[in-house]
Amino acid sequence: MASKMEPLPGTSDIWEPESLEWVRLETSARDVFRRYGYGELRTPIFERTDVFVRSIGDETEVVQKEMYTFEDRGGRSLTLRPEGTAGTMRAIANQGLAQGEGKRVFCIGPMFRGERPAAGRRRQFHQISVEAVGKCSPALDAECISMLARYLQGIGINRIRVQLNSRGTADDRARMAPELQAYFKEHVTVMCEDCQRRVDGNVWRILDCKNAGCQPVIELAPPIPELLGEESREYFAQVRKILDSLGIKYAINPRLVRGLDYYQHTVFEVTSEAEGLGAQNALAGGGRYLITLPGSKKPVEGVGFGIGMERLMMALHPTPFEERGTGHVDLFVAGRGVETQPGRMQLAEELRAAGIAVIAELENRSLKAQFRTANRLNARFVLVLAEQELAAGTVSCKDMKTSEQETCPRPRVVDWVRERV
Ligand code: HAM
């Protein structure tokens, strides 16, 4: 049985040095997306439940099976965000749609889905969620995909595959549904219970079923791009043309519909062949959407994607990080005597101001114990400031790597360290 100290299944503690790598991926995202005119938005981690149900769609797996929904003390139904798009659109709509048009934002943070935990499938996971509000525009869709591919290349993920499809418009889907229904009705007996239910309800969800037994039937379903209306076909052709001109390689996956109901026209997923990802090989997914928020009549349109940070980490680091370290320090300031304590702390502050990572002895333990701590912390230098040094206006400085030891006048100490770091 798992110890009570372990994090809940599907959640994790992330220690250094792994957390430093997370910071690198986030910093690079901020840098790349800013260059395309996107700004950072931080939305609440929980929202009113209907914000998600209305936009993601009540027929979806996320809404039906995976949301962490609870009642607060006031009897309001709240949900931990399962994805970033709905909250972002709520925030943008809150400012008035007229201002929302043309807004480009990204949001980085934890998302929550009650899925069965597996490698790359977590209950608390982290997304970089990127959204551009704007009317249908093949150029904006293509730019979005290009930006995603360039971000992934920039952080060092190479063997990616961009899968692309179009879901057309709501009218297209209503027109195509009978053909899909006719096909799936012929095979429904070999499909899972959910799919059997979906044939008459939401046949589109069948295409997104993850059940292994349903895959052979799904793979032979009528290809969506061939069923699209003229306008949607032309739109999709434009997206592909622009991607070609930008040098972005992609493969058409004619049955890709994605798991959220708000999508229309372009949908895409980026998978990776990196070892370690296994079945959960979708690093990112997104598309163009049309969302009607509760309390609003006018839908918001946009295009965007979500990147799974855990999956980026798995693609970049197939072997998990073993080390569970805390901060790294360059230097330990040791010494004995309560009277010398303020002097040690002042010295530590001066060194920190010079950009050096320092821990100073705060407990007045034996020097032997302090050197042990310095060794454990892997500190390159130990500076000793005890009564004797205080009286002489000096500090004994030891380079732990070379064992070189020197008595340094107090005013020269920062330079002594700087010359050696
Ligand atoms: P999504 O495909 O549900 O799309 O999630 C995007 C990415 O988040 C996935 O490709 C995957 O890398 C990661 N992810 C999803 N669920 C999990 C999980 N349980 N554990 C680990 N990683 C996971 C969306 O969420 C849309 N909001 C994306 C979007 C933005 N579409 C338009 N704008």
Span 273-281, average pLDDT: 81
Is 138 close to ligand 1, i.e. is its CB under 6 Å away? no
Confidence of residue 305 (pLDDT cuts 50, 70, 90): very high
Span 321-327, average pLDDT: 85
Is 134 close to ligand 1, i.e. is its CB under 6 Å away? no
The residue type of 376 is: R
C-alpha–C-alpha distance, residues 266 and 405, integer Å: 66
Confirm if 93 and 14 have CB atoms less than 8 A apart: no
pLDDT at 100: 64
pLDDT at 396: 97
Is 93 close to ligand 1, i.e. is its CB under 6 Å away? no
Least confident of 10-19, 98-107, 312-321, 350-359: 98-107
Pocket test for ligand 1, best of 125, 270, 271, 307 (most atoms within 8 A of CB): 125
- DSSP class of residue 37 equals T
What is the residue with the minimal CA distance to atom 6 of ligand 1? 306
In terms of Cα–Cα distance, which of 13, 40, 237 is closest to 130?
A: 40
Res. 43: pLDDT tops 60: yes
C-alpha–C-alpha distance, residues 336 and 125, integer Å: 46
Confidence of residue 162 (pLDDT cuts 50, 70, 90): very high
Average pLDDT, the chain: 94
pLDDT at 3: 80
Give the pLDDT confidence of 1-40 residue by residue, as tens digits.
668 899 999 999 999 999 999 999 999 999 999 999 999 9
Of residues 407 and 208, more confidently modeled: 407
Res. 99: pLDDT tops 70: no
Nearest atom of ligand 1 to the alpha carbon of 86: 27
Ramachandran angles phi, psi of 270, nearest 5°: -115, 120
Q: Are strands 381-384 and 282-291 parallel, antiparallel or unpaired?
A: unpaired
pLDDT at 23: 98
18-168+228-316 and 331-416, same CATH topology: no
In terms of Cα–Cα distance, which of 386, 382, 418, 384 is closest to 402?
A: 382
CA–centroid distance, residue 127 to ligand 1 (Å): 7
Res. 101: pLDDT tops 80: no
Would you list the domain boundaries of the chain? 18-168+228-316, 331-416
pLDDT more than 90, % of the chain: 84
pLDDT at 59: 85
- What does CATH list as the number for 18-168+228-316? 3.30.930.10
C-alpha–C-alpha distance, residues 87 and 138, integer Å: 24
The residue type of 300 is: V
What is the residue with the minimal CA distance to atom 2 of ligand 1? 285
- What is the third-level CATH fold of 331-416? Rossmann fold (3.40.50)
pTM (2 decimals)?
0.93
pLDDT more than 70, % of the chain: 99
Is 129 close to ligand 1, i.e. is its CB under 6 Å away? yes
Q: Residue 247: is it exposed, middle or buried by C-beta count within 10 angstroms (0-12/13-18/19+)? A: exposed
Give the pLDDT confidence of 113-161 residue by residue, as tens digits.
999 999 999 999 999 999 999 889 999 999 999 999 999 999 999 889 9
Confirm if 7 and 13 have CB atoms less than 8 A apart: yes
CA–centroid distance, residue 258 to ligand 1 (Å): 10
